[in-house]
A and B are shown apart, each in its own frame.
Chain A
Amino acid sequence: MASKDINNPQINNTQYKDESGEKVLTKKDLNKMAWRSLFLQASFNYERMQAAGWLFSMAPALKKIHKKKEDLSKSMKVHMEFFNTHPFLVTFIMGIIAAMEENKSDTETIRGVKVATMGPLGGIGDALFWLTLLPISAGIGASLAIDGSIAGPIIFLIMFNIVHFALRFGLMHYGYRTGVNSVSMIKENTKLVSRAASILGLSVVGGLIASYIGLETTAVINAGEARVALQADVLDQIMPKMLPLGYALLMYFLLKKNWSPIKLIGITVVIGVAGKYLGIL
């Protein structure tokens, strides 16, 4: 019955035991997290990508928020899940999640918000840094350096890092304020919010599959006189990005069959190298 569930919080394992939701984070903690976020990719790997670095950056907040050991452990496990976003803009998500953790939002919602924000921020970050800030500042610097001026590298570093650090620290505080202002709303409507976050998250994952997985075949079928390029003439006609989708789904089903991610990564390396030797990738 519903009433029983409410009285027994242990049944719902997405909730923290200590639900006090006290405000414990200070500006200093947020700054500490922003500094640590510089090491977001220290332990980068293909299985979880930035997860362990993300947890490293969140550590000052989690330590202060979760006084019960089992709550800290539960939170750490959620933050060890696959995570990948833009390494500069990540502090915006950190601020929001820090506010949610502080408010003891349930872990499913926390996960939903992380997944829903990481993709779009990655895209914005790419556009902002790789396609705007870097070409502008490095272009100015390089033109000076090619003329033999030592000012080239110096101007480049100053320009680039003023924007970089202003965003990194500014977004941490902005994200936290955004989170604080919206957590009570999020907490009251947990189920609906996590549903909304799943909808958003999955549509983004669908988009990521189509844009971030690089897999095309170079195979050519010789049928008498005709040379048919498998990718352009067959696969692309059926459905664009068919191979990336197929490969992601294959990985998904193998994971569901309890294959370990490491095995899947190993298989991916073998397929890539073997495919190249066979001349089909």
Chain B
Amino acid sequence: MFIKALLIALWAGITGIDNFNGLTHIHRPLVTGLIVGLILGDIQTGLITGGMLELVWMGMAPLAGAQPPNVVIGGIIGASFAILANQEPNVAVGIAVPFAVAAQAGITLLFTAFSPVMHKADKYAEEANLKGIDKINYLGLAILFVSYFIVAFLPIYFGADTAEAMVSKLPQTFIDGLSVAGGMMPAVGFAMLLKIMLKKEYTGFLILGFVLVAYLELPVLAVALLGTTIALYDFYNNKNKDNTPPPANSNEGVVNDGI
């Protein structure tokens, strides 16, 4: 069992990376089912459970920044459980989802914990040290691999039942709270953009974009196209003004002299 759990954990580490990097989608339950089936010696059950889990996760796309239950851990635990506990694929799905939700909460913590490393990256940028930036990215990959490896290894080695009981003891409210925080998190990133870009004269466009989505429920692409329309109009309007040199030049002279 140790070797089998090790092989599955190895697959979890690799596909955990693929979930965010590479994105060849070997991490989908459809593929994982086959691989777990191969490792545990029951390809048929692996394929069928994988196919069913795939359909469950198909509707759970990471849209609008909301992270769905972790597809990697869900696929691996689900397929392993179906084969090891000799259960119906449906039951396996029920087992897989709580694990996947807990795993996603862990990912939220990981992405939070990695934020301070960015200050190290700022230092490397200051020093024009590209090798340092490489190192930070390799470190991120290593952490992803190790986290997924451990999260897959423990429940399979110690038995999926025991682990499920443990996960269910984690207060649900706490896990839900982390998920709420994950949804709020983009606000911090947008605020950082505003700090860099927002000037008084442009505030109106921020309001416009917000209104188009909040009230008119337009997709972001539509907002971008409308924004482009205004930007193009503004650009050519000002460009034509610049092509009539006398007033523009004299104006600038006055401003500069004033300063």
Contacts and interface: CB of A to CB of B under 8 A. Distances in A.
Determine if chain A interacts with chain B. yes
Interface residues of A, number: 121
Q: Is the interface of A mostly helix, strand, loop or mixed?
A: helix
B176 interface: yes
A242 B209 CA distance: 14
B24 A161 contact: yes
A80 B122 contact: yes
A106 B200 CA distance: 22
A27 to B, nearest CB: 21
Interface string A47-84: 11101110110010011000001101100110111101
Contact of A256 (B52, B138, B195, B221): B195
A250 to B, nearest CB: 8
A43 B117 contact: yes
Interface in B148-195: 173-174, 176-195
A281 B205 CA distance: 30
Contacts of B117: 43, 45, 52
Nearest to A199: B231
Which of B50, B113, B210, B253 has most A Cβ within 10 Å? B210
A41 to B, nearest CB: 4
A145 B191 contact: no
A122 B188 contact: no
B90 interface: no
Interface stretch (A15-23, A133-141, A223-231): A133-141
Interface of A: 1-2, 38-49, 51-53, 55-56, 59, 62-63, 69-70, 72-73, 76-77, 79-82, 84, 87-88, 111-112, 115-116, 119-120, 122-124, 126-127, 130-131, 134-135, 138-139, 141-146, 148-150, 152-153, 156-157, 160-161, 164, 189, 192-193, 195-215, 239-241, 244-245, 247-252, 254-256, 261-262, 264-266, 268-269, 271-277, 281
List the 6 closest A-B pairs by CB distance, nearest first. Answer: A206-B209, A272-B181, A214-B183, A273-B177, A145-B51, A276-B177
Interface of B: 20-26, 28, 30-31, 33-34, 43-44, 47-48, 50-52, 54-55, 58, 61-66, 111-118, 121-122, 124-128, 130, 133-134, 136-141, 144, 173-174, 176-199, 202-203, 205-215, 218-221, 223-228, 230-232, 234-235, 238-239, 242, 252-253, 256
